[in-house]
Amino acid sequence: ATKTKVHNYSAGPCILPREVFEKAAQAVLDFEGSGLSILEISHRSKPFEAVMAKAQSLVKELLGAPDNYQVVFLGGGASLGFHMVPLNYMKLGGKSAYANTGEWATRAVKESKLVGDTIVVASSEDKNFSYIPKGYAIPSDADYFHFTSNNTIFGTQYRQLPKSPVPLICDMSSDIFSRPVNVADFALIYGGAQKNMGPAGATMYLFDPERLGHTGRKLSPMLDLKNHGAKESMYNTPPVFAVYVSMLTMEWMKSVGGVVEMERRNAAKAKLLYDAIDRLPLFKGTTAAEDRSVMNATFVMSDAALEPAFDVMWKEAGISGIRGHRSVGGYRASMYNALPIDSVQVLVDVMEEFAKKHG
Ligand code: PMP
């Protein structure tokens, strides 16, 4: 027997829609009535080629990407993306510009420095990454400007995406498909699948191929985005199962109303939780209010000594995964696309009840 319902606030890998789990489980046993498991078919088989093509076109359709943009799904995580970005976009002898808004942005900067001249044009490190920097200048001679749209660990998010005189590149790992974006503004959007897109194991790159191949740098084909694009994401064996489950997740998104509906749901969930954080003096948000993430809400207790008692209560309510990242402490409630608002209500009810007892 399954235990009582778990309200999964994990920061990623994270909750996916129930129907996606069911379809994925079925495909492991018998993929589309073929008598074969999705795990045992060739990535070069017609049925899998159709899955790949569908996954690629769903990314573009959901985000409204221009026709000429390409989509590939690679291994290595967004962390390998941190290195592939400068390799593919920084000219030999050129330079890159970065905004440093958190742990993942810091890692992206480090990888760019390994490749060439890297300028950090804005940073919120002075206040433990609790806000999104504003009003900075991006040098017009940089080869690109890189930013992290949502800072998973610190719980901040660009509510307004930056404008840039140079090609924009965005690590959208933790808020892709959470709202509409104008893809034509970006040379590249990339991210690990394991939040809103699907399970861990695939990293998605959505890019304008015209912007590739201009660095003067010779690259290994495995690190060359242009090569992966030209080979339809089949230069080598792609992460078959992760691509399949991502495709199912994107089909689910489309069926319920796409990114416009995701944005509406996410805004409602975030409002419910942040209103409780602001209403109850026992809890305090850790980020600048105008930069709060709708995906990852970070908060602490005004009296840390009460944490153990609070922990007992939310665990009893079936809540899982809200302990904060070690660099922030306190709590982080990740409310990705598939988390139902009912789960947020359960957390808010626990907070209210706790405040009544201890407030
Ligand atoms: N960027 C962001 C915004 C992330 O949240 C994460 C992981 N949580 C990463 C990059 C790193 O992704 P991966 O583990 O897939 O390398």
Instruction: Say how far apart CA 177 and CA 171 lie, in whole Å.
Output: 13
Nearest to 188 by CA among 117, 51, 90, 49: 90
Ligand 1 center to 352 CA (angstroms): 32
Query: Does 104 sit in the ligand 1 pocket, CB within 6 Å?
Result: yes
Nearest atom, ligand 1, residue 76 CA: 16
Q: What is the DSSP string of 261-313?
A: HHHHHHHHHHHHHHHHHHH-TTEEE-S-GGGB-SSEEEEEESSGGGHHHHHHH
Nearest atom, ligand 1, residue 150 CA: 3
Query: Does 75 sit in the ligand 1 pocket, CB within 6 Å?
Result: no
pTM equals 0.98
Which residue has a Cα nearest atom 14 of ligand 1? 77
Query: Does 192 sit in the ligand 1 pocket, CB within 6 Å?
Result: yes
Query: Does 293 sit in the ligand 1 pocket, CB within 6 Å?
Result: no
What confidence tier does 32 reach under pLDDT thresholds 50, 70, 90? Answer: very high
What confidence tier does 5 reach under pLDDT thresholds 50, 70, 90? Answer: confident
Q: Which of 101, 111, 174, 296 has most ligand 1 atoms within 8 Å of CB, for mutation?
A: 174
* Statement: residue 170 has pLDDT above 80: yes
What are the residue numbers of the active site?
104, 171, 195
Q: What are the pLDDT digits (tens) for 300-333? A: 999 999 999 999 999 999 999 999 999 899 999 9
Instruction: Say how far apart CA 337 and CA 265 lie, in whole Å.
Output: 8
* Statement: residue 23 has pLDDT above 90: yes
Q: What are the pLDDT digits (tens) for 123-163? A: 999 999 999 999 999 999 999 999 999 999 999 999 999 99
pLDDT given for residue 248 in this prediction:
98
Q: What are the pLDDT digits (tens) for 49-63? A: 999 999 999 999 999
pLDDT given for residue 347 in this prediction:
98
Taking the CA atoms of residue 317, residue 177, residue 100 and residue 129 in that order, the dihedral angle to the nearest 10 degrees is -20
Q: What are the pLDDT digits (tens) for 242-286? A: 999 999 999 999 999 999 999 999 999 999 999 999 999 999 999
* Statement: residue 2 has pLDDT above 70: no
What confidence tier does 91 reach under pLDDT thresholds 50, 70, 90? Answer: very high
The whole-number average pLDDT for the span 154-181 is 97
> Beta 70-74 vs 117-123: how paired, if at all?
unpaired
